[in-house]
Structure 1
Amino acid sequence: MIHEFKLIFQLPQNSPPINELVEALAEAGCDDAIVGTGHPGRIALEFSRESENAREAIDSAFDDVQRALGGAELIEAAPDYAGLTEIADIIGISRQALRKQMLNQADFPRPFHCGNPSLWHLAPVLDWLQQQRGYRIDPALQEIAQHNMHLNTRQQRQKAEMLTSAQTTTA
């Protein structure tokens, strides 16, 4: 089965030129990804990876990137973070219709970021929409969103622990 997802990394300070990074990625097994370099110091890889399950596909891609790009730090695994517009597009309804469901249902998953826009982890919202509203959700998308949520949450926790550790060391 083909799994489609994106991994975005912060490159180390003294990274080689981008063409060398792209070569290293291909040699490490990332020849199934489209490489984006639109933001200085970052690299985004949009994968179409064949694997039995999403976890295996995403983890193997992550390992391949780490092997190729040594000190690169994961910024985001996508799809995961989503606003109402993206979620509505996935299930094929208008943003306004989804917003109405969100406002009228106390058990609608809470956003992890309230603001403009508010953001949700995609997996719990897809689960809720399937269980509470009967929407048909692609199981592969649910699996990818679930694993990416765990990856992103783990990454955020590690960053917080490093920050806390650095603050305690300097205090």
Structure 2
Amino acid sequence: MSTDGIYEFDLIFALPSPADIDSILDRLYDAGCDDAVIGVGAPDMIGLGFTRYGPDAETVISRTLNQILIALPEGCRLREVKPDLVSLAEVAARLGVTRQALQKREMPAPSLGGLYRATEIRPHLSQATGKIAEALATADPWFAAAAGAQRVNARISLGDIPACRHAHQTGTNAVVPQKNPVPARQAACPPFSASPTEIRRRKGSEAG
């Protein structure tokens, strides 16, 4: 019996300028990221949202990152993994409630810029009732990814995450990890995404 959990997370990358978005989407599809939800609403940035199974959040995020690094253009850098530091507005959007509803509840002390650690918010909501309690089950994969996102963000700060190097073009024997996709998420798309593109839908329309 599998003990894998479900984790919902976003990987935010800085792109070299100018970036060929169509080519990037093709390479991501070829690398097996057909389950990604893509946000390209900010200049020279791309957000990839995933919902995946795995033994723990950090392992799932790291495997996914390894998969992406061989697909993005040389010089791309991972800037942030979400959820980690989040606003009450982000949490409210995940739960489908108003920010005011959360402000009425006891919350952990905020961190930088008035943001909160997602790892600290979930325990404070565990005793909630009503709509918040009902929404927590849907949002649990997002909260479950927070600890892994926090650890990977620490690695970014320490410079432990390499830039993309086009392993697929240089002959490196990179291994694309096996993913375990779950049904597409119903929650919000990656940050700064005004019009997300699901790669598999895009490819399907091209085939038709």
When the two structures are superposed, what TM-score results if normalisation uses the length of structure 1? 0.69
* Secondary structure in structure 2 of the residue aligned to 1:39: coil
1:89 deviation in Å? 4.9
Per the alignment, residue 76 of structure 2 pairs with 72
Do 2:6 and 2:52's aligned partners in 1 also have CA atoms closer than 8 Å?
Answer: yes
Given the alignment of the two structures, is residue 6 of structure 1 paired with residue 42 of structure 2, yes or no?
no
Tell me which residue corresponds to 1:47.
50
SS of aligned partner of 2:8: strand
Q: CA, structure 1 residues 125+48, in 2 after alignment: closer, same or farther (shift >3 Å)? A: closer
1:60–1:18 distance in 2 versus 1, CA, 3 Å: same
Return 49-58 or 86-95, whichever deviates more.
86-95
Judged with a 3 Å threshold, the aligned counterparts in structure 2 of structure 1 residues 89 and 31 are, in CA distance, closer, same or farther, namely closer
Structure 2 residues not aligned, in runs of 5+: 161-208
Q: CA separation of 1:97/1:56 partners in 2, compared to 1, >3 Å: closer, same or farther?
A: same
**In structure 1, what is the equivalent of residue 62 of structure 2?**
59
1:109 aligns with 108
Change (3 A) 1:22 1:92: closer
| 2:91 counterpart letter in structure 1 | I
| TM-aligned CA deviation for residue 82 of structure 1 | 1.7
Are residues 52 and 97 of structure 1, via their aligned partners in 2, closer, same or farther at CA, if it must alter by over 3 Å?
Answer: same
The aligned length equals 148
How much is the aligned-residue C-alpha RMSD, in angstroms?
2.8
Q: CA separation in 1, counterparts of 2:31 and 2:123?
A: 35
Structure 1 residue corresponding to 2:116, chosen from 116, 120, 129 = 120
Q: Specify the alignment match of 2:149 in structure 1.
A: 148
TM-score (norm 2): 0.58
Contact kept, 8 Å, 1:49 with 1:57, in 2: the verdict is yes
With over 3 angstroms needed to count, the CA separation of the structure-2 counterparts of 1:88 and 1:44, relative to structure 1, is: closer
Q: Secondary structure at the match of 1:75?
A: strand
> Contact between 2:58 and 2:152, CA under 8 Å: does it hold in 1?
no
The structure with more helix, counted as a fraction of residues: 1
Mapped to 1, the partners of 2:146 and 2:88 lie a distance apart of: 15
Contact 1:10–1:41, Cα closer than 8 Å, also in 2: yes
Q: Distance in 2 between matches of 1:157 and 1:51?
A: 25
Maintained 8 Å contact 1:36/1:44: yes
Q: For residue 108 of structure 2, what is the amino acid of its counterpart?
A: P
